[in-house]
């Protein structure tokens, strides 16, 4: 289905230690995390809050384990901070990623985001900021500028639609994609966030498969999502209660997702990203579940 020379498997450290709630998995060290990733059979990962800030040290530890960095999250504030300030931070991130051999960067617009607010409902009410036309222009122009900077460095900027942010829904994703340059702005396609938002992840993939630059494989427990809706949970409360899980452990149908990506000749990373409470979902156990599922369903 996939060519192992062009499609690589990675896993995010967020299953070991949560960036938004660092108390979840606080006991898990960087070396334990990347060792267990390698033990589970993955060859790449993203960057978490326990990772060394020195790229030479980080690369040395990953090399020992046959691992590499696939990408990194970048919080942009194009709506609320001067563009020059965002660009300077973006270039520093590219410098770091280049030093560890990565060529993808995942950008999420965090202006007005409620994803990190423990008591703000994410599925009910009108708590999420809705952009006006001027803000849409500012966001898309800013993404084009950042994407051009990334492309000049051999990177792909992959925009991460995300619950609680200004680009959460299919309609918002459509507008962002329509108003950004396909040469410079790609999609970080996330099965879980589209599902959580009540959208059809497969139809979104079919629409944008030629612009997918990075893939997050995230499964959803829809019964927990419904509890989140009924109980006015925040994004973080939904995470704590197990809304997310690894592929094969929830309700997302990944077979057609894999098929569409394969038929389109997708090249890049398939990266498992499932933020859970490590005290309730042992990270190594779930990493191994995910690896076995991907092997069974893709042959990788």
Name residue 298's beta-bridge partners: none
The residues, any chain, with a CB within 8 Å of residue 205's CB and separated by 6 or more, are 189, 212, 257, 260, 261
Give the mean pLDDT of 18-24.
93
CA 15 – CA 166 distance, rounded (Å) = 25
Q: Residue 171 burial by CB count (10 A; 0-12/13-18/19+): exposed, middle or buried? A: exposed
Query: pLDDT by residue (tens digit) across 30-60?
Result: 999 999 999 999 999 999 999 999 999 999 9
The sheet carrying 104-109 orders its strands as 68-69, 44-45, 7-11, 268-272, 212-217, 185-190, 156-160, 104-109, 73-76
Q: How confident is the model at residue 246 (pLDDT cuts 50, 70, 90)?
A: very high
The residues, any chain, with a CB within 8 Å of residue 273's CB and separated by 6 or more, are 11, 12, 14, 15, 46, 190, 192, 216, 217, 218
CA dist 138 → 12, 50, 131, 184, 186 (Å): 30, 33, 10, 16, 18
What local confidence, expressed as pLDDT, does residue 192 receive? Answer: 98
CA 83 – CA 68 distance, rounded (Å) = 31
Does the pTM surpass 0.95? The reply is yes
Give the mean pLDDT of 221-234.
98
- Look up residue 86 and give its two tokens: 């965002």
Query: pLDDT by residue (tens digit) across 95-144?
Result: 999 999 999 999 999 999 999 999 999 999 999 999 999 999 999 999 99
CA 189 – CA 184 distance, rounded (Å) = 16
Whether 106 and 72 have beta carbons less than 8 Å apart is answered as yes
Query: pLDDT by residue (tens digit) across 139-172?
Result: 999 999 999 999 999 999 999 999 999 999 999 9
Q: How confident is the model at residue 72 (pLDDT cuts 50, 70, 90)?
A: very high
Give the mean pLDDT of 1-27.
95
Query: pLDDT by residue (tens digit) across 173-203?
Result: 999 999 999 999 999 999 999 999 999 999 9
Q: How confident is the model at residue 79 (pLDDT cuts 50, 70, 90)?
A: very high
Q: What is the mean pLDDT of the chain?
A: 97
């Amino acid at each position: 289905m996939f060519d192992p020379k062009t499609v690589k498997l990675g896993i995010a450290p967020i299953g070991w230690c949560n960036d938004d709630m660092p108390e979840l998995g606080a006991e898990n060290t960087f070396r334990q995390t990347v060792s267990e990733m390698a033990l589970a059979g993955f060859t790449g990962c993203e960057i978490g809050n326990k990772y060394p800030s020195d790229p030479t040290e980080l690369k040395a530890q990953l090399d020992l384990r046959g691992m590499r960095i696939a990408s990194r999250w970048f919080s942009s504030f194009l709506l609320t901070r001067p563009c020059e300030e965002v660009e300077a931070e973006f270039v520093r991130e590219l410098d770091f990623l280049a030093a560890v051999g990565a060529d993808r960067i995942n950008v999420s617009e965090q202006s007005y985001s409620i994803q990190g607010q423990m008591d703000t409902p994410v599925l009910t009410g009108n708590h999420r900021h809705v952009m006006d036309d001027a803000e849409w222009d500012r966001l898309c122009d800013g993404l084009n500028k950042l994407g051009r900077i990334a492309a000049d460095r051999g990177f792909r900027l992959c925009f991460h639609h995300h619950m609680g942010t200004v680009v959460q829904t299919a309609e918002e994703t459509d507008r962002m994609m329509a108003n950004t340059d396909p040469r410079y702005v790609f999609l970080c396609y996330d099965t879980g966030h589209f599902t959580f938002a009540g959208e059809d992840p497969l139809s979104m993939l079919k629409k944008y498969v030629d612009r997918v630059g990075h893939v997050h494989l995230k499964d959803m427990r829809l019964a927990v999502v419904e509890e989140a809706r009924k109980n006015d949970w925040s994004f973080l409360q939904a995470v704590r209660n197990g809304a997310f899980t690894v592929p094969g452990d929830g309700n997302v149908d990944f077979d057609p997702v894999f098929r569409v990506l394969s038929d389109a000749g997708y090249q890049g990373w398939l990266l498992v990203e499932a933020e859970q409470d490590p005290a309730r979902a042992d990270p190594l156990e779930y990493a191994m579940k995910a690896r076995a599922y991907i092997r069974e369903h893709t042959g990788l």
